[in-house]
Amino acid sequence: MKKDILIPEVKNVHVAVVREYNNDYKVFDWNAYIINDKPVALEMVIIVTKGYSEDKKTATFRKKIESLPAKSYAKIEMLLEDVLAINNLFNVSFFDGNQLFEKSFEFRKNTINEKALQEVPLMNLKGVLKS
């Protein structure tokens, strides 16, 4: 029965959107990262992202990371300025040991901006963080 299914809580895994300077094009970009702040590696990380609003939606993007070491991070994708004006959803699934974990991280429209920047764990950069 559904009540018997235990869904473990995801802790110490974050998605952050960081504003970084692009030396090649001499502009600032918004880049999404997954952060593993756990003391163990995450295995078979699958990230499915999409942007949406009432009248717009982006293509669905999928990324697989075989192993994300403990206390590390990996780039997911670059976000264009136009996409920041709609909701951005990051569905993350991974194995910690033999246990499957899953969590959705949603950045509501217009919440990714310079006023919302805060320190991002492990990266020593400022960004918008979802835990």
Tens digits of pLDDT across the chain (131 residues): 666 667 789 999 999 999 999 999 999 999 999 999 999 999 999 999 999 999 999 999 999 999 999 999 999 999 999 999 999 999 999 999 889 999 999 999 999 999 999 999 999 999 999 99
pTM tops 0.85: yes
Q: Is the dihedral of CA 15, 64, 41, 21 positive or negative?
A: negative
| Closest among 86, 89, 81, 121 to 105, alpha carbons compared | 89
CA atoms within 13 A on the CB side of 15: 25
Which amino acid is it at 29? D
For the 12-124 domain, the top CATH level (class) is mainly beta
Which amino acid is it at 18? V
Beta bridge partners of 69: none
